[in-house]
């Protein structure tokens, strides 16, 4: 097995946002319970899992549960059925790994490792970003950026069986963007079966594009975007992440929120830029979490909820000498952003040292 340092030595120069201890969150409905699942993938501590069911326990599961493995990237979460939760991440060899709970008790504690499967990597190309995953009916589609700057994809069913092998993302009825490379990892979302929205950060190598701008393409089974559109947010320093409010009997229009890390002029430190498709037009906003140091993740269990998680640059030292590292959590309830939870934290026993700080190279938005 390759050592972590060997993998990091290759991966880090190629994708600066690759932080093996970044969080990933997934909001969804399991049966009749709305829930948020959060995981952190680590090289030596494996995958850690924590969750919040809106009904039932009425609060966050009190501790991180260890789910096994050894990972060299942030994870991506998705589900294809109400009793299935899938997590995708790169292993120490740079292959995509699927781990998860397939029909078990999603709230089980002390159950040991999640079962996992190695899904490999594209032939003659090497993955250099964490994956993105999205549910499309009974299928979960996974996307990742490779060394050539190409976005690759594959698909699995609700049992984790591969239904489509590695292929370039444009083969899924998406526009091709020859001559342009993508920075960081893509993000994907779907507000209804057959609908796919893919987001990526243009690295600016093409003379007609700007550095690190957010771009978007889509298809719905019947039609597709004629080309990748630029959403007007530039200078991004992290991969995007998405959350959707799906089409329902009460809401005929789907909504997708895209979040990425950038900076706003005259404000020190990272800010999170939002581009939100509100059914008929794009809207833009920024939130400025104090002390954020790593690319954040956004999730929703349905309209009008949004949850944002991120790592902070602060920690507290306990009387026994151990350190308690703090993560930030803020939420939107349709009317305003709630107060960030300062006590949502993890201990140094959960992670390898030192405390991770993602690189910051943002430009003013």
Residue 293 near residue 250, CB atoms below 8 Å? no
Confidence at 104, pLDDT banded by 50, 70, 90: confident
Confidence at 214, pLDDT banded by 50, 70, 90: very high
**What's the whole-number mean pLDDT along residues 20-36?**
84
CA 276/CA 258 separation, integer angstroms: 6
CA of residue 247 relative to chain centroid, distance: 22
Give the residue, 333 or 195, on which the prediction is more confident: 195
Query: Mean pLDDT highest for which of 42-51, 298-307, 317-326?
Result: 298-307
DSSP 283: E
Computed over every residue of the chain, the mean pLDDT equals: 79
pLDDT in tens, 237-280: 888 999 999 999 999 999 999 998 876 554 555 678 888 998 88
The confidence score (pLDDT) of residue 118 equals 96
Query: Mean pLDDT highest for which of 19-23, 52-56, 196-200, 323-327?
Result: 196-200
Residue 361 pLDDT > 90, yes or no? no
Fold of 4-350: Neuraminidase (2.120.10)
CB atoms within 10 A of CB 164: 14
Confidence at 157, pLDDT banded by 50, 70, 90: very high
Residue 38 pLDDT > 60, yes or no? yes
Strand, helix or coil at 360? coil
Q: Which residues have CB under 8 Å from 249's CB, separation 6+?
A: none
Report pTM: 0.86
pLDDT in tens, 309-358: 877 666 666 676 655 556 777 888 887 776 555 444 444 443 332 222 22
Beta strands 132-136 and 139-145 are antiparallel
The confidence score (pLDDT) of residue 70 equals 86
CA 327/CA 179 separation, integer angstroms: 39
pLDDT in tens, 56-96: 656 888 788 889 998 888 899 999 888 899 999 998 888 99
The confidence score (pLDDT) of residue 19 equals 43
Residue 2 pLDDT > 90, yes or no? no
CA 133/CA 136 separation, integer angstroms: 10
Domain ranges of the chain: 4-350
């Amino acid at each position: 097995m390759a050592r972590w340092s060997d993998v990091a030595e290759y991966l880090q120069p190629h994708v600066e946002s690759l932080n093996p201890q970044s969080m990933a969150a997934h909001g969804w409905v399991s049966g009749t319970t709305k829930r948020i699942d959060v995981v952190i993938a680590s090289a030596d501590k494996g995958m850690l899992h924590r969750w919040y069911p809106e009904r039932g326990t009425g609060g966050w599961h009190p501790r991180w549960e260890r789910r096994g493995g050894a990972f060299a990237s942030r994870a991506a979460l998705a589900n294809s059925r109400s009793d299935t939760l899938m997590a995708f991440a790169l292993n120490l060899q740079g292959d995509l790994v699927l781990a998860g709970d397939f029909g078990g008790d999603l709230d089980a504690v002390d159950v040991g490792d999640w079962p996992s499967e190695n899904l490999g990597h594209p032939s003659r190309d090497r993955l250099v970003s964490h994956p993105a995953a999205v549910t499309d009916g009974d299928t979960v589609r996974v996307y990742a950026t490779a060394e050539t700057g190409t976005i690759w994809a594959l698909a699995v069913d609700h049992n984790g069986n591969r239904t489509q092998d590695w292929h370039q993302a444009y083969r899924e009825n998406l526009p091709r963007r020859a001559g342009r490379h993508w920075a960081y990892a893509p993000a994907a979302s779907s507000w209804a079966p057959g609908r796919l929205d893919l987001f990526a950060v243009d690295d600016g190598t093409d003379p007609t594009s700007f550095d690190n701008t957010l771009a978007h393409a889509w298809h719905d089974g019947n039609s597709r975007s004629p080309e990748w559109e630029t959403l007007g947010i530039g200078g991004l320093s992290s991969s995007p992440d998405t959350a959707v409010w799906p089409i329902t009997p009460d809401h005929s229009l789907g909504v997708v929120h895209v979040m990425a890390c950038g900076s706003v002029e005259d404000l020190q430190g990272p800010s999170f830029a939002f581009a939100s498709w509100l059914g008929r037009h794009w809207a833009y906003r920024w939130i400025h979490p104090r002390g954020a140091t790593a690319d954040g993740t956004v999730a929703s269990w349905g309209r009008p909820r949004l949850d944002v998680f991120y790592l902070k640059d602060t920690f507290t030292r306990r009387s026994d000498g151990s350190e308690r590292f703090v993560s930030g959590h803020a939420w939107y309830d349709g009317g305003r952003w709630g107060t960030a939870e300062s006590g949502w934290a993890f201990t140094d026993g959960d992670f390898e040292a030192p405390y991770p700080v993602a690189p910051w190279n943002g430009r003013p938005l």
